Structure formats: C-alpha cells, structure tokens
Amino acid sequence: MTTPETSSERPSTGPAAGQAEIERIVRQATRSLFRFFEEASAGAIVVDRDARVLWINDRYAELLGLTDPEAAVGQPVESVIPQSQLREVVRSGRPILLDIMQLRDQSLVVTRLPVLGEGDQVQGAVGFVLYDHLQPLTPLVAKFRRLQQDLARAQRALAKRRVRYDLSHFVGISPPVLEIKRKARLAAERNTPVLLLGETGTGKEILAQAIHGMSNRADQPFVGVSVAAIPENLLEAEFFGVAPGAYTGASREHRPGKFQLANGGTLFLDEVGDMPLHLQAKLLRALQEREVESVGSDNIHRVDVRVIAATSRDLRAMVEAGDFRPDLYYRLNVVEIRVPPLSERLEDVAPLCESILTELAEDGARRSLSEDALALLNGYHWPGNIRELRNILERAVTLVPKPRLEATDLADLLPAAIRNAQRPAGARPAVRPLAETLREAEAKALAQALEATGGNRSAAARLLGISRSVFYEKFRQLSGGQDMLS
C-alpha cells in the first residue's frame, strides 16, 4: 500500500522525535490503517504487479461466492472479479478512491490504492469493498445515477448531431468535382469559414458534412440550420436561443440557439443569402466576437463555432445591391467552393446513377440503365440537379418492376418538357390525374418566380403571395428533396 514514508507530507511528531522514531510511528499508522480498513470493509484483496491475486480475505471471497478462496491466489484478478480495475491502478500507479462496481445484480462501493515500494515503484494494488449495499450512500448514488442519465442524454443528442456523409458520398468524376474535393480536404485542415456556392440540390450539405467530418472537430456536433426554412420572426431565437420567460409563453428554461448547440463543432448555415439584414449584423457580431446573446437576456454566452455557409444566390451581386452586408460576406467567404450545376458536368450523370441505384437496391438486386436511358438523362438540363436525378431514379425503381430500365420507362417520369420532346409528333396528350397536373403547374409557378427574382426565395414567395416557409416546403416537395437539416 502507499506508505506515508514516501509521502512528502510528513506527520509532525514534535521537535524531540528523531527520524527513526518518525518512521516507526508511520509504519505503525500504515499497519493500523490497513487493519482498520480490512476489518471495517465488506472485503479486501491484494494483487501483485502483474495484477494476480496475492491475498483475499474471507468476507470478499464469500461476497464473490468463491467456495475455495485459496484457489483464487495466483489468478489474474479479472478471473476472480470480472469488473476489477486493479490492473489499471497497477498500470497507472494512481488510486481510484471511490467507485461503484457492479457485481452481478449488486452495486459495491469500492476503493482501490496502489502499493508503492522503494523509489515509488508500483508493487501491486489493494482493493477494499467499503459497502456491499448502497443504502448509506443513497444521496451520492442518486446523484451518480442522475449524472449518468445526463451523460446518456448528452451522448444521444451528440449522436443525432453526428454527420452522415463523408467525401466519398460526393460522387463525381468531372474535373470540377475533383477540384471541389481537393479544396474541401484543404478547408478541413483549418478552422476557417467556408462558403459553398451552388444551385439547389448540388450537394452543398454533403460537402459541409464531409468537411466537418475530416476536421479536428469531427467528434463535436454538426448543426445545420436552413435560414430559408425558418419564418423570419423566429430566426433570431433559432440562432441565438431564448432566455427563460423572455416573452409570454416562453419556456421557464433557457432554450439554447443553434450557435450554442454547435459549440465546439460546426454550424452549417444553409441559404445564408436569405438572412434578413437586421440579423446579418447580429450574426456578424457572433462570428467576430465569438459571443451570443439570447433573446430577452443581457447575458453573454461564449461560443467556439466553425461556420460553413451555403447559398444558391449570387451573394456578390446581393452585396452590390445592398441586400447583403459586405463585412459579413467577407467574414464568411474565406474559402470559397463553387459547385457547378449538374448540366455543366454531365459526365457525372453516369456515376451518380450507378451510386444512387446501388443505394436504392433492395436485397442486393441493383437496377441498371440501358444506354438509351442514360442518353435520355444526359439530354436533360436538371434544374433540380442531383436531388432531382435521385428523385427520378427513386420513382423509376418504385414504379417500374424491371431489372434494366429503358428510356421509355424513364420518359414518363421526367418533367413535361422532356417528355413532350420524346412524344411522336401528332400524338394527342393523354389526360392525366388532376393532382399530377396541379403539381406540375405549381412547379412551373415556383420556377418562374425563382427565375424572376434571380433565385431569391423570399422575393419569389412574396411574388406568389405565400409565406417563405410554405414556399420552401413546396419547393422541397416538388424537387423531391428530403430536409436533411437538423
């Protein structure tokens, strides 16, 4: 056992006591301490420097249900006490002063100490069972359980905030895709902000997740927030949190904002171009000062967040038009990665189809595409980019029960423009279900509004006389997208 002889804190025995006298008393103290613990505890065990049992008292043997305690001597400690941590104490030379050890359905309160010899060399370890039932420690155990529950809850929350994509999910063989991946790898090495520019459905969120996953923040949360999807009056609370009772109906507990949820990790600001001007100022402050102030409070919370922003809008033009703050633009745009639309890299269509069909394969039965089917897909302009390609393949796999999909199987699933181009001249358009016609009309209205506003979803929603969130929801549905933002 650790003996006070080796301790730097020597007991005071008065000026008259010589060195030999001090050591004698200390040795006695050590022996009495051991005896006291051995007698008062519900069990005691000593192991050597290889964590093999040297000695075990009868009470511990009985607790463990050993019929022959002598047989335990010389055995590795874990073969006698499966949950034992004595080997760790021998290895580290550090005591575990208080711990709860599970023995079958029993919780034991234990203490473990290293035995130090000459020159503080670890000679072994000693373990005592302080209590074999937890009654005397009820308050402590209740606290322990609460902490364990908190930990489990935090781990579950963190797991939800783990990323699902890495760079291998960003499929493509075209030169722009290879360049995008190169830049993403470089960006991951630093904590600098990244701005991802590209049309909707081009894979900006995959890239954001991949960069986070390759960075030194990979074990920390990745929190995505789509600015366009949140009603304007809720954005501030969503980003910065709400103080207890900040307004009528507000919760009595502090509700953390996305900045706080992303603390230590990465915050992905999707559609950052849709951020209203007055919140752009607060966002800039949060990024510069690394501090956020919840709605309804003067309290400042420090945050350490790496920001990856994305937009399908022309941010530079917005800056020139006075719709986006230049200081925020330069703050976000340290590393810029442009993701070209699928129509500018049609060589990616084939590998993308392969990868999507593999993902959609059930029972290992992967569908394939005929050459004319691939040619048909290559001839389309893909306004919804890869999200739209995925949607069409998913529909084909669901609706066409054939192992090899032909152009004729896909033509019906493609939007009217391309379908009509495939239809023989003179053929009368078929009467289609009303829902389908309405869906197409809605898609067309949305596309026209977006074109008229240069991709500005808020303005497009205003033009159509619907709210931003309704617009966004319809947009997601019509482009077949899933909302991947948490």
List of residues contacting ligand ATP (CB under 6 A): 169-172, 198, 200-206, 270, 310, 312, 352, 355, 386-387, 390, 481, 484
Q: How far is the CB of 168 from ligand ATP (least distance, A)?
A: 9
Annotate 243-260 with b (16+ C-beta within 10 A) or e (fewer).
Answer: beebeeebeeebbbbbbb
As measured in angstroms, the least distance from the Cβ of 458 to ligand ATP is 15
| β 335-339/194-198 pair status | parallel
Between the alpha carbon of residue 198 and those of residues 17, 273, 391, 419, 455, the distances in Å are 83, 12, 19, 27, 11
Select 46 or 308, whichever has its Cβ closest to ligand ATP.
308
- Min CB(482)–ligand ATP separation in Å: 7
Contact of 111 with 84, CB cutoff 8 Å: no
d(CA 295, CA 254): 10
79 vs 398, which CB is nearer to ligand ATP?
398
Dihedral sign computed on CA atoms, order 377, 430, 464, 232: negative
Cβ at position 311, least distance to ligand ATP in Å: 8
Which of 250/485 has CB closer to ligand ATP?
485
Q: Tokens 């530079």 appear where?
A: 316
180 contacts 345 by C-beta, under 8 angstroms: no
Work out how close the CB of 214 gets to ligand ATP at its nearest, in angstroms, rounded to a whole number.
16
Q: How far is C-alpha 277 from the geometric centre of its chain's CA atoms?
A: 30
The secondary element (H helix, E strand) that includes residue 166 is none
Q: Cα 373 vs. chain centroid, distance in angstroms?
A: 38
Q: Minimum Å distance from CB 255 to ligand ATP?
A: 25
- 10 Å CB burial of residue 216 (0-12, 13-18, 19+) is exposed
CB 6 within 8 A of CB 116: yes
Between 75 and 174, whose beta carbon lies closer to ligand ATP? 174
Identify which of residues 60 and 170 has a Cβ nearer to ligand ATP in the complex.
170
Tell the smallest beta-carbon distance from residue 339 to ligand ATP (Å).
Answer: 7
Closer by beta carbon to ligand ATP, 25 or else 360: 360
CB of 354 to ligand ATP, least distance (A): 10
DSSP state of 165: -
Which of 86/272 has CB closer to ligand ATP? 272
Q: Is 46 helix (H, G, I), strand (E, B) or coil?
A: strand
Nearer to ligand ATP, 355 or 422 (CB): 355
Q: Which residue is nearest to ligand ATP (CB)?
A: 203
Q: Of 113 and 386, which CB lies nearer to ligand ATP in the complex structure?
A: 386
Residue 266: CB atoms within 10 A of its CB come to 26
Q: Quote the least distance from Cβ 196 to ligand ATP, whole Å.
A: 8
Alpha-carbon distance 299 to 450, whole Å?
40
- How many Å separate Cα 192 from the centre of its chain? 19
